[in-house]
Amino acid sequence: MKEVVSIVKIGGNVIEDDHALDQFLNSFSKLKGPKVLIHGGGKLATKLSTRLGIPSNMVDGRRITDKETVDVITMVYAGLANKKIVAQLQSKGTNALGMSGADGNSIQAHKRPVKEIDYGFVGDIDEINSKMIANLLGTGITPVFCAISHDGKGQLLNTNADTIAAEISIAMASYYEVILYYCFEKKGVLMHIEDENSVIEHINRTTYKELLDKGIIADGMLPKLHNCFHALEHNVAKVCLGDVGMLQKNAELFTTITL
Amino acid sequence: MKEVVSIVKIGGNVIEDDHALDQFLNSFSKLKGPKVLIHGGGKLATKLSTRLGIPSNMVDGRRITDKETVDVITMVYAGLANKKIVAQLQSKGTNALGMSGADGNSIQAHKRPVKEIDYGFVGDIDEINSKMIANLLGTGITPVFCAISHDGKGQLLNTNADTIAAEISIAMASYYEVILYYCFEKKGVLMHIEDENSVIEHINRTTYKELLDKGIIADGMLPKLHNCFHALEHNVAKVCLGDVGMLQKNAELFTTITL
């Protein structure tokens, strides 16, 4: 039986809030066995853009990434957010190593082709350097990825953190039994969006279709759950969605997804 | 006989200028064998500080690093400068991995005690994680360090890049024969500051004392040469100072320092 690796993605709202981040990093540090962290930082990037007088253009929740914006996200994601997390994890006894997708050639991508919308320097993932990540995990290092990939030709690319988490999980499935955690501000996937406690505790392929048909999974949850099933269909063992408490199993409620 | 490792520090002026950086990274990429790059980014940090309305306070060429400034240097050194260099090295066939001193706990330091001047979040190095760096080099990775260390308690610290280069060189001397290169805009240590071609080609302990006595080594060269001899006295084989051409031995002139 393969060893379990925990791949955890945290949302931007957690990074924003010093107290929530500290609480999250405490829980993450206590996770036993090899683990990987993936983070975004969109709201911090918007803040810095505003201070620098660079407009933030969002289409369907995705950032249009022009030349100035790719510099801003590189400063915020790979610099400020990533190094803050790494330094704090070190203080909690986790030997973290922060990376963008350019580092160790860990995430190769290509610039998204322009169709109706020109997203600019946004990358769609081609390949995860799974051997390099497995090597790091093997030496007791905890990789901490920010939401940036590269094209192998010198260009950094803004890349969705949920997708990076799913693709790294899939790549690690050759070496490990992978549990993928999407950690965010809600307690899980909700049956009634206005009722925070209406968490759907288990979802599988059959109930997923029913939830889609009934329109219960909508908006931001659609791409997230798409990522979950994409991961499960590519040998990831289990996906969990919920708030910080989920990691130490002291949350009463969270959502578990299997095929 | 030990394998040779090249430890190269590039100055801020090279990072500033896209053409000079590209030329430097081409030469660096062609260096055979294991290698490490260390960079600063002070001028880029000053630029960003100015745009954000944060005053840059310098004392004897050292940056006073308050809470806002440590965020700025984290964004610029660990984010913008480091990831730009890493992505470009990847495009040139060098498997670079960018790091601050917090990453992999590679550079532990303590906040400089306040005496006459409070430098703020500036770190003096306590320990280099030489085993981790040697492990990375052993797997064909080229570590790229920015000028940031950490205190192990969650705080990032601004740390002089020349000193980081010297300390990493000393740490690597247990594993490798180390050649340390300080690459900057001048052709080497100059006999006459106004004559760019008056490069002193060889310096040793005896001639160093003579140059100091005559006042030929002064200002910014004083701490740089102090770092060189500190490294040589701790088992670093050779230190070279010069411009980009030095790395591929196609510079006619550069300075070599041995004990």
User: pLDDT confidence of B12, banded at 50, 70, 90?
Assistant: confident
CA–CA separation, B36 and B18 (whole Å) = 21
> Does the annotation flag B112 for ligand binding?
no
Q: Is B245 an interface residue toward A (CB < 8 Å)? A: no
Q: Is the pLDDT of residue B250 over 70?
A: no
Kindly give the confidence (pLDDT) of every residue in chain A, 259 residues in length, as a single tens digit, with 9 standing for 90 and above: 899 999 999 987 888 889 999 999 999 999 999 999 999 888 899 999 999 999 888 887 778 999 999 999 999 999 999 999 999 999 999 999 999 999 999 999 999 999 999 999 999 999 999 999 999 999 999 999 999 999 999 999 999 999 999 999 999 999 999 999 999 989 999 999 899 999 999 999 999 999 999 999 888 888 899 999 999 999 999 999 999 989 987 667 999 999 9
Q: Which of A68, A90, A106 to mutate to test the interface with B (most CBs of B within 10 A)?
A: A90
CA–CA separation, A231 and B243 (whole Å) = 49
Q: Is the pLDDT of residue B247 over 80?
A: yes
Give the three-state DSSP class for A96.
Answer: strand
| Binding residue ranges of A for substrate | 41-42, 63, 158
- State the pLDDT at residue B220: 80
- State the pLDDT at residue A250: 67
Contact residues, chain B, for A77 at CB < 8 Å: 79
Residue % of chain B over a pLDDT of 90: 83
Q: Is the pLDDT of residue B14 over 70?
A: yes
User: pLDDT confidence of B59, banded at 50, 70, 90?
Assistant: confident
Nearest to B104 among A83, A95, A100 (CB): A95
Q: Which chain B residue has its CA at the smallest distance from A81's CA?
A: B75
Q: Is the pLDDT of residue B123 over 90?
A: yes
Burial classification of residue A216, based on how many CB atoms lie within 10 Å of its CB (0-12 exposed, 13-18 middle, 19 or more buried):
middle
Q: Is A52 an interface residue toward B (CB < 8 Å)? A: yes
CB < 8 Å & 24+ apart, contacts of A213-221: A216/A191, A217/A189, A220/A61, A221/A189
Å between A131 CA and nearest CA of chain B: 11
Q: What is the mean pLDDT of chain B?
A: 94
CATH class of B4-185: alpha beta
- The verdict on a CB contact (< 8 Å) between A154 and B88 is yes
Contact residues, chain B, for A154 at CB < 8 Å: 87-88, 90-91
- State the pLDDT at residue B85: 98
CA–CA separation, A91 and B36 (whole Å) = 26
CA–CA separation, B247 and A76 (whole Å) = 33
Q: Is the pLDDT of residue B154 over 90?
A: yes
CATH number 3.40.1160.10 given to A4-257: yes
Burial classification of residue B93, based on how many CB atoms lie within 10 Å of its CB (0-12 exposed, 13-18 middle, 19 or more buried):
exposed
Q: Alpha helices of A39-129 — where are they, by DSSP H?
A: 42-52, 67-73, 82-91
Nearest to B76 among A75, A135, A155 (CB): A75
Q: Give Cα A121 to chain centroid, integer Å.
A: 19
DSSP run (H or E) holding B209: helix B205-213
Contact residues, chain B, for A52 at CB < 8 Å: 51-52
Q: Is the pLDDT of residue B33 over 90?
A: yes
- State the pLDDT at residue A16: 84
| Binding residue ranges of A | 41-42, 63, 158
- The single-letter code of the amino acid at A11 is G
Q: Is A135 an interface residue toward B (CB < 8 Å)? A: yes
The tokens for B11 are 């100055």
Q: Is B49 an interface residue toward A (CB < 8 Å)? A: no
- State the pLDDT at residue B255: 96
Domain ranges of chain B: 4-185
Q: Give Cα A234 to chain centroid, integer Å.
A: 17
Contact A186, A253 (CB under 8 A): no
Q: Is the pLDDT of residue B100 over 90?
A: yes
ipTM: 0.95
Q: Stretch B29-46: mean pLDDT, rounded?
A: 94
> Of the ranges B1-10, B39-48, B66-75, which one carries the lowest mean pLDDT score?
B39-48
Q: Is the pLDDT of residue B211 over 70?
A: yes
- The verdict on a CB contact (< 8 Å) between A153 and B103 is no
Q: Which chain A residue has its CA at the smallest distance from B103's CA?
A: A97
Q: Is the pLDDT of residue B251 over 70?
A: no
Q: Is B148 an interface residue toward A (CB < 8 Å)? A: yes
